[in-house]
Structure 1
Amino acid sequence: MSEPVLSLQDVTLNLRGNAGLVEILHKISLDVTRGETLGLIGPSGSGKSSLLMVMGGLERATAGQVRALGHDLTAMSEDALARFRRDHMGVVFQSFHLIPTMTALENVATPLELAGDRRAFDRARAMLDKVGLSHRTDHYPAQMSGGEQQRVALARALAPEPDILLADEPTGNLDGVNGAAIVDLLFGLSREHGATLVLVTHAHDLAARCDRVVRLRDGQVDDADLRAAE
């Protein structure tokens, strides 16, 4: 049996808040296989987004181990983590995180340029065309709707053809029509590129499209093998 694309062993995350040290995640163990689509669900404050950030090395686990593609993320330096994400991961944030002073084309091309891709702008233009934004290449984020900005963010995450795609409430800021379009793009493009997809969502219809659903409660796995039929 091949090694999981993502593997968490007894992962704990503690963060310091106004009330002192707070345990956000408690000894979570979870494996995600190649090409799998995994939904993370649970009530607000259950640790879903924090778990996604730990998977991507954007938050460093306080204890336990996080392995991605056979690499121990918990042992990497910040620079090594940044390079690993650049080469192997795509992240779609709820709030887009587009660079306001860059056009849609420049936003999508930037991670490709950082990876040394000489065809960065050609690939970025092709990806924007795939998400239906070929007419918006020269527009800045402030000139686009929320749905268009989310499509740019999705194009940016998928342009490098990552092995792992992490999405945090990708439809949270969108209306029903735009949200449905983003979901179709997310699953279609991740399937086309063979990416393992992990997404955080409150939407049951979105979770139902995943191969497997994990429910979190109070920073712990409440159920690790929910299916759409349930």
Structure 2
Amino acid sequence: MPDPVLSLADVRLTLDGNAGPVEILHGIDLSVGLGESVGLVGPSGSGKSSLLMILGGLERATGGRVAAMGYDLTALDEDALARFRRDNMGVVFQSFHLIPTMTALENVATPLELAGARDAWDRAAAELRSVGMADRADHYPAQLSGGEQQRVALARAAAPRPRLLLADEPTGNLDAATGRAIADLLFDLRDRHGATLVLVTHDERLATRCNRVVRLRDGRIEPGDRAEAAE
């Protein structure tokens, strides 16, 4: 089997709580192959989102090793992690995280400009068209519905052509019909750009659209789930 795009070995996460240290993740081993889509599911508090944040270098593991695209993320400082995310990752959150003082077009173009893309505005406009938001490009987040804001967030994540796409409950704040439309767009973006996708969701039906489903409970991968990428 070729080297995985993402690899976690004995990853642990302990955070300080009011009553003392709280163990969030307990020795996670997981690998994700090139172009694979993996759904992470489990009850609230199982560690799904924490695991995704570690995969994206947004949270530091307190033990073990995290590797992505051949880089040891546990060895990178904050600036190097930020550059790695800029060059390789797109992240979609449940709460959109759009910049309220920027239009939809500006929200999508900003990460491209920061990466030095000369065609930032053209690419941003193209991605907005791909998610059906071309006619809302000049609107601010407060002028958009939740579904429209998530479409802009998807366009922003996809515009840099990331090799890794991470999504944390991307349909969690949306009604069922809008959530299905956003899910369709997410998988379409994955297919168009050939990205590797890791998706955190409570929705079993959405998770089963992935190549593989990994279930977490109490900070551990449930026994019997396949934690390694397919050959």
Deviates more, 1:16-25 or 1:125-134: 16-25
Counterpart residue number, 1:135: 135
Counterpart residue number, 1:102: 102
Deviation at 1:184, TM superposition (A): 0.4
Deviation at 1:2, TM superposition (A): 1.8
Deviation at 1:51, TM superposition (A): 0.2
Counterpart residue number, 2:86: 86
Q: How many Å separate the matches in 1 of 2:114 and 2:96?
A: 19
Counterpart residue number, 2:76: 76
Structure 2 residue identity aligned to 1:11: V
Deviation readout 1:18-65 (Å, 9 max, x if unpaired): 111101001000000011010000010000000000000000000000
Counterpart residue number, 1:22: 22
- Structure 2 alignment gaps of length 5 or more: none
Counterpart residue number, 2:158: 158
Deviation readout 1:117-156 (Å, 9 max, x if unpaired): 0100100000000000000100000000000000000000
Counterpart residue number, 1:34: 34
1:70-219 matches, within 5 Å, as 70-219=70-219
Q: How many Å separate the matches in 2 of 1:207 and 1:180?
A: 12
Deviation at 1:192, TM superposition (A): 1.1
Q: How many Å separate the matches in 1 of 2:220 and 2:177?
A: 33
| SS of structure 1 residue aligned to 2:206 | helix
User: In the alignment, does 2:226 pair up with 1:225?
Assistant: yes
Q: Which runs of structure 1 show a deviation greater than 3 angstroms over 4 or more consecutive aligned residues?
A: none
Structure 2 residue identity aligned to 1:91: V
TM-score (norm 2): 0.96
1:57-72 matches, within 5 Å, as 57-72=57-72
Deviation at 1:13, TM superposition (A): 0.5
* Seq. identity, %: 73
Structure 1 residue identity aligned to 2:218: D
TM-score (norm 1): 0.97
Q: How many Å separate the matches in 2 of 1:154 and 1:201?
A: 16
Counterpart residue number, 1:44: 44
Structure 1 residue identity aligned to 2:157: A
Structure 2 residue identity aligned to 1:141: P
Deviation at 1:225, TM superposition (A): 2.8
| SS of structure 1 residue aligned to 2:99 | coil
Q: How many Å separate the matches in 2 of 1:215 and 1:225?
A: 9
Q: How many Å separate the matches in 2 of 1:134 and 1:219?
A: 41
Q: Tell me how large the CA RMSD over aligned residues is.
A: 0.9
Structure 1 residue identity aligned to 2:27: K
Structure 1 residue identity aligned to 2:127: M
Structure 1 residue identity aligned to 2:18: N
| SS of structure 1 residue aligned to 2:199 | strand
Structure 1 residue identity aligned to 2:9: Q
Q: How many Å separate the matches in 2 of 1:86 and 1:22?
A: 31
